[in-house]
Amino acid sequence: MMPMPEPISIDEVNVLTPVEFRQRFGNIIECCPDVAAALSSQRPFINVESMALAANRFLDQLQPQGKERVLLLHPDLAGRLAEQGQLTHESSREQKSAGLDSLSPADKTRINELNKRYRAKFGFPFVICARENKVANIFQGLEARLSNARETELEIGINEVKKICRLRIRELIYDN
């Protein structure tokens, strides 16, 4: 698990080699270095927001199967990977910020059951921007979203990925 690198300026981002760019931004979308490769070729960016918008466009242009693949790269919240300490550095910090690392045994059982039901219904994990939520909101969102149609959940999940991505980019680049 690699720690977060120190933030750099947008000017520094724009002069990274493609390899350096992929190394730095390869996990702005969980375990999806393809986005970094695509964004690298779209430089120069004028600011953090322009890079985040380019990442959004990357996601928006994916076919439904591609969006599903992006969602499948995300771990279950407070799931097996978290229990085994195998989350990416970013996911670990994000889940911890929401309080998912300190669930009671009852809440742990509950979230595992909800995750299982969600994945069985939709075929991909429940994705929510953990940094913008706490445990109660996550449970509420999981329960409420179980009643959605698959197409709706695919779009909601991708919109949550966009929020996560924007926050990750903001951590890697400081505004001038």
Q: Could you report the per-residue pLDDT of 39-48, keeping only the tens digit for each?
A: 999 999 999 9
Structure token pair of residue 25: 């931004």
Measured distance CA(157)–CA(165) in Å, rounded: 12
Query: What is the CATH class of 8-69+170-174?
Result: mainly alpha
The active-site residue out of 24, 67, 74, 145 is 74
CB 38 within 8 A of CB 58: yes
pLDDT above 90 (res 3): no
Distance CA 75, CA 126 (A): 9
* Widest CA span in the chain: 50
Task: Give SS3 for 80.
Answer: helix
pLDDT confidence band for 176 (50 / 70 / 90): low
Q: What is the pLDDT of residues 160-170, one digit of tens each?
A: 999 999 999 99
- Domain ranges for the chain: 8-69+170-174, 75-160
Instruction: Give the CA dihedral 131, 134, 155, 30, nearest 10 degrees.
Output: 40
Residue 25 confidence (pLDDT) = 97
CATH number of 75-160: 1.10.3330.10
**Separation between Cα atoms, residue 147 and residue 130, nearest integer Å:** 20
Q: Give the whole-angstrom CA distance, residue 35 versus residue 58.
A: 7
Is 74 among the residues known to form the active site?
yes
Q: Residue 156 burial (CB < 10 Å; 0-12/13-18/19+)? A: middle
| Higher pLDDT among residues 5 and 164, named by residue | 164
Q: From the centroid of its chain, how far is CA 16? A: 23
Kindly report the pTM of this predicted structure.
0.96
Band of the pLDDT at 175, cuts 50, 70, 90? confident
Is 75-160 the same fold as 8-69+170-174?
A: yes
